[in-house]
Amino acid sequence: MKDKTIEHCRRHYPIRLMCRCLNISPGGYYAWKSRVSSARQQDNQRLGKHIKALHQQSDGVMGSPRIWKALRHQR
């Protein structure tokens, strides 16, 4: 979470200053930034996009129970 805060604000503040304020090492930040997403993170991103697409296709009417059922039937 802290690393995402740094990424979001990096245009406004120096990275080393933000790392010091958030109590993380600059090396840790750069390691996180260059790290490849795990398979779990990639699956979660794909699922999130799919959920958003289902919600948009229903014009925002489908809620979580109906989306869950739609996802279960698509297996």
H helices of the chain, in order, are: 2-9, 15-22, 26-34, 39-57, 64-73
Average pLDDT score, the chain: 89
Q: Could you tell me the pTM of the whole model?
A: 0.59
**In the prediction, which pLDDT does 49 show?**
94
Give the confidence band of 40 by pLDDT, cuts at 50, 70, 90.
Answer: very high
Q: How far apart are CA 7 and CA 58, in angstroms?
A: 33
Q: Is the pLDDT of residue 18 over 60?
A: yes
**In the prediction, which pLDDT does 75 show?**
67
Q: Is the pLDDT of residue 47 over 90?
A: yes
For tokens 């080393």, the residue is 16
Residues written for the chain:
75
